[in-house]
Amino acid sequence: MPHKVSTGNANIRISLASPPGWKYVGGDTVIGNVVRCSYIVAPEATVTLALYGRVKTKITVRKNYSTYGSNTSHYRGRWELFHTTRQVLFQGPIHLPEGSASDPLTWPFALNIPARPSDEVLHGHSREESFLPLNTDNLAYSTLPGSFYSRSNGWRTSSEGFVEYYLEAELRYGRAGSSEIETATLPITIRHLPPAETFGSYALQSCVVEKRIKSQRLLPGMEHAQLSLKQKIQKLVGSSKVPEFVYTVEINWPQAIQIDKPTPIPIIVGVSPSHASPKIQDVVQKVRLNWVDMCIRPTTLVLAPGNFSRSNIHDDRHSSRHYLGLKGAFLGLQHPIVLTTGKGSQPVDIGGMLRLVMHPNGVTLGGQRVTTMMGPCPDFVTYNIRHTNQLDLEVSLTVAGETHQFKVSSGLRIIAAP
């Protein structure tokens, strides 16, 4: 189920006036030229242009091998968001002499992108194969889904889904008694739109984790001491002579992140004492924050109808992982981050300190890009694709020479850039 790629040659190609990588929204106008650079003489020719928008899914299920070989089924979902009427750019005789590549034939165009899917998108589909209501009232308030592509290759089940938009130019002409047709295609990118409501300050969610340590190094002056064999045995058997310290770690992170929001993403870590043995009741403990790692897990759910019944719906969910380079940033710190359990100890905003910002082309820390991945795709839902995101945070701390690690996970809404 290939998606459209750019095609064209000297016979016909499409050139846009917008800079490379430009992203459009519904309602914009695409401006450019259809170009012919190679020799041609034709008494009658027609040049047309159309814009397509569609959503496609494919689910492949491989069943167990049998006597007759493998059994593989393919299920496909196709939604035509719109198909603009072919715009006639030129009609008449054309002539381009040989050696005229530097002065080609050009046919300018200005083509409007629909602001929403056309009414025809509702036809030929059952309500079971769509995440969205299939009625004209809902369609009237719809916007175009942003360009998107996701794919997974599983052993038994594979799936892919994409939202794509592309221009198709066509040159028809007669030559030597026969009709010739030459075409060129050019994908364009429609960007995801943020919700109508304004995204203000970050709303945070939190998690509290309790950690426990028993060690003689909790005693004053013993922080870096070498334990004797006796002390090691006491610690190993859990002797009551070994001090115990229980502390809680509270971590706060956003419920939603907007791409290109200049305010750094808050990742706040704080510690507080919970319980201590009498010997160390009043001892202020130091907790070193070794690192915080951050991973976004996008998940794509696709739908496709059965081959013989549109109400027999198949679905598949696939995920991936994108680490944001936060852990590596701790290696470059001049001084370690140390939290204390004494009065007045304040949590540390790691995201603010490192100036963590998410962009369409990746993540920056301190203004420097630190990931090679493309930026995460915002959450969205269209007829047969639902895309969501989750966040994994992993924290490493050291107390009295012993390291504790834990991971927290939650849903995370990623919002398109304003």
- pLDDT-based confidence at residue 225 (cuts at 50, 70, 90): low
The residue to which tokens 């939603």 are assigned: 256
Distance separating alpha carbons of residues 56 and 181, to the nearest angstrom: 27
DSSP state of 98: T
pLDDT surpasses 90 at 32: yes
- pLDDT-based confidence at residue 215 (cuts at 50, 70, 90): confident
Query: 122-135 pLDDT, tens per residue?
Result: 988 989 999 999 99
Q: Are 170 and 343 in contact, with CB atoms under 8 Å apart?
A: no
pLDDT surpasses 60 at 232: no
Domain ranges of the chain: 13-190, 204-415
pLDDT surpasses 80 at 311: no
Q: Which residues pair with residue 81 across a beta bridge?
A: none
| pLDDT for position 1 | 58
Residue 220 backbone dihedrals phi, psi, to 5 degrees: -55, 135
Q: Are 252 and 205 in contact, with CB atoms under 8 Å apart?
A: yes
CA dihedral 387, 388, 393, 394 (to 10 degrees): -50
Distance separating alpha carbons of residues 27 and 41, to the nearest angstrom: 37
Residue type, 187: P
Q: Would strands 413-415 and 256-258 be described as parallel, antiparallel, or unpaired?
A: parallel
- pLDDT-based confidence at residue 70 (cuts at 50, 70, 90): low
pLDDT surpasses 70 at 237: no
| pLDDT for position 2 | 74
Nearest alpha carbon to residue 310 among 62, 139, 127: 127
| pLDDT for position 366 | 85
Query: 340-349 pLDDT, tens per residue?
Result: 987 778 999 9
Q: Are 129 and 310 in contact, with CB atoms under 8 Å apart?
A: yes
- pLDDT-based confidence at residue 82 (cuts at 50, 70, 90): very high
The residue to which tokens 């002390």 are assigned: 231
| pLDDT for position 101 | 73
| pLDDT for position 177 | 73
Distance separating alpha carbons of residues 112 and 110, to the nearest angstrom: 7
Contacts of 141 (CB under 8 A, 6+ apart): none
Query: 347-405 pLDDT, tens per residue?
Result: 999 999 999 999 888 888 888 887 656 678 999 999 999 999 999 999 999 998 889 99
| pLDDT for position 324 | 86
Mean of all residue pLDDT scores within the chain: 88
Contacts of 346 (CB under 8 A, 6+ apart): 270
- CA distances in angstroms from 328 to 325, 331, 332, listed in the order given: 6, 6, 8
Q: Which residues pair with residue 379 across a beta bridge?
A: none
* DSSP-assigned states of every residue in 261-320: -SSPPP-EEEEEEEEE-GGGTTPPPEEEEEEEEEEEEEEEEEEEE-SS-TTSEEEEEEE-
Region 2-25: mean pLDDT is: 93
- Quote the tokens at residue 5: 């790629």
Distance separating alpha carbons of residues 213 and 276, to the nearest angstrom: 10
- CATH T-level fold of 13-190: Immunoglobulin-like (2.60.40)
What does pTM read for this prediction? 0.87
Distance separating alpha carbons of residues 114 and 117, to the nearest angstrom: 7
* DSSP-assigned states of every residue in 324-341: -SHHHHGGG-SS-EEEES
pLDDT surpasses 90 at 282: no
